[in-house]
Amino acid sequence: MKIVERTYSEADRRALLEAGVHPLLARIFAARRIASADELRYEAASLLHPNLLKNAEHAAQLLADAIARHKRLLIVADYDADGATACAVGMRALRRFGANVEYLVPDRFKLGYGLSPELVDIASQSRPDVLITVDNG
């Protein structure tokens, strides 16, 4: 395993410390280009409004139409905590809307991370009408 030390902004680290962030976490966050404690807020009110996401309305309409037409949906997720969470949330929500939805979580040791042509080939074997990706980079 190769361990790499990330560079960070000392000004960002200090700003985080002054906001009450633990010194170790301030160093880690600064290395991840987090410059303010406000960026660490995870309440729903702090999230980006869905209407600000490019083509979100079009995607929502596409999903609604697919559900209404009983199309086959397939969620492709990454094999980690946030990928599994995104997949579970997507499955539960879409099923509550009456969707015919399945999921695919590829073996990261064979296929690596992210959506690749090889992964799309594997996903297409189940013949979905709509392919939904979550946490794929």
Within the chain, residue ranges assigned H as helices are 10-18, 23-31, 56-68, 81-96, 108-111, 117-124
Instruction: Please state, in angstroms and rounded to a whole number, the distance separating the CA atoms of residues 6 and 110.
Output: 27
pLDDT for the residue 76: 95
Instruction: Please state, in angstroms and rounded to a whole number, the distance separating the CA atoms of residues 121 and 116.
Output: 9
pLDDT tens-digit readout, 61-111: 999 999 999 999 999 998 889 999 999 999 999 999 999 999 999 887 887
Contact 131, 59 (CB under 8 A): no
pLDDT tens-digit readout, 8-52: 999 999 999 999 999 999 999 999 999 999 999 888 888 888 889
Looking at the predicted structure, is the pLDDT value of residue 133 above 70?
yes
pLDDT for the residue 94: 98
pLDDT for the residue 66: 98
Confidence category of residue 113, pLDDT binned at 50, 70, 90? confident
pTM exceeding 0.85: no
Looking at the predicted structure, is the pLDDT value of residue 123 above 90?
yes
Q: Is 53 exposed, middle or buried (0-12, 13-18, 19+ CB in 10 A)?
A: exposed
Per-residue tokens: 117: 């042509």
Instruction: Please state, in angstroms and rounded to a whole number, the distance separating the CA atoms of residues 122 and 1.
Output: 29
pLDDT for the residue 137: 67
Domains of the chain in start order, with CATH, are 10-46 (no CATH), 50-134 (3.40.50.2300)
Instruction: Please state, in angstroms and rounded to a whole number, the distance separating the CA atoms of residues 8 and 14.
Output: 11
Look at the alpha carbons of 93, 49, 68, 71 in this order and tell me if their dihedral is positive or negative. Answer: negative
pLDDT for the residue 20: 96
